[in-house]
Chain A
Amino acid sequence: GAGVSQSPSNKVTEKGKDVELRCDPISGHTALYWYRQSLGQGLEFLIYFQGNSAPDKSGLPSDRFSAERTGGSVSTLTIQRTQQEDSAVYLCASSLRRGNTEAFFGQGTRLTVV
């Protein structure tokens, strides 16, 4: 089937605006992760969803960031009042379940805040 799908692929927004990034995981995958990657840097964990359990939000950098996952499938990452330092590639990954299974990434959303 299809892989992890993210939209939009690119987003340019003005400082102070809100943005929504979407992730559609692989069908049947119960675990979903959001990461962000700044240019030339490693992956920074943001949030993790596992089935119907409460998400692990420990990586969200500020209260301007929030995410939800509706019906255990599609996830939306929302950034309010964007700042220039939010510019990065936002990557979503899903895996069959928590633990031993490998995760597959979407192609990411490249966010630029001007």
Chain B
Amino acid sequence: RKEVEQDPGPFNVPEGATVAFNCTYSNSASQSFFWYRQDCRKEPKLLMSVYSSGNEDGRFTAQLNRASQYISLLIRDSKLSDSATYLCVAVGANNLFFGTGTRLTVIP
């Protein structure tokens, strides 16, 4: 079983739509979680950290549910520039466990 599981998508949504991605992790000892964004043929870039209390950054909201061991990312009012692959990450003892990524395409 993979440490982090994500729906690979693709998600194709119209501009202005709200889209949500979920990610599950298997190691209950993981303490820190992040969402990264990766554009085609580029390196992953940190999008936001995920806190137990939930956190918001503009149109992006991240939530953590420890009881169910899942992480979510909500994007409101999608822009064309949001098209990318979104990777969730659970921090282990010696590793950052990455999901395989969810591909999002925002359509005009």
A33–B94 alpha-carbon span in the complex (Å): 9
**What bracket does the count of chain A residues touching chain B fall in?**
20 to 34
Q: State in angstroms the CA–CA spacing of A107 and B43 once bound together.
A: 5
Which of A102, A104, A108 has the most chain B CB atoms inside 10 A of its CB? Answer: A102
By the criterion CB–CB under 8 Å, are A43 and B87 in contact? yes
Contact status A93-B96, CB under 8 Å: yes
| Chain A contacts for B91, CB-based, 8 A | 99-100
B96–A56 CB distance below 8 A? no
A91–B98 touching, CB < 8 Å: no
Q: Does B100 contact A (CB under 8 A)?
A: yes
Contact partners of B44 in chain A: CB under 8 A: 43, 91, 105
B residues near A35, Cβ cutoff 8 Å: 98
Using CB atoms and an 8 Å cutoff, list the residues of chain B in contact with chain A.
31-32, 34, 42-46, 49, 87, 91, 93-101
* A-to-B contact residues, CB < 8 Å: 33, 35, 41-43, 45, 48, 50, 56, 58-59, 91, 93, 98-108
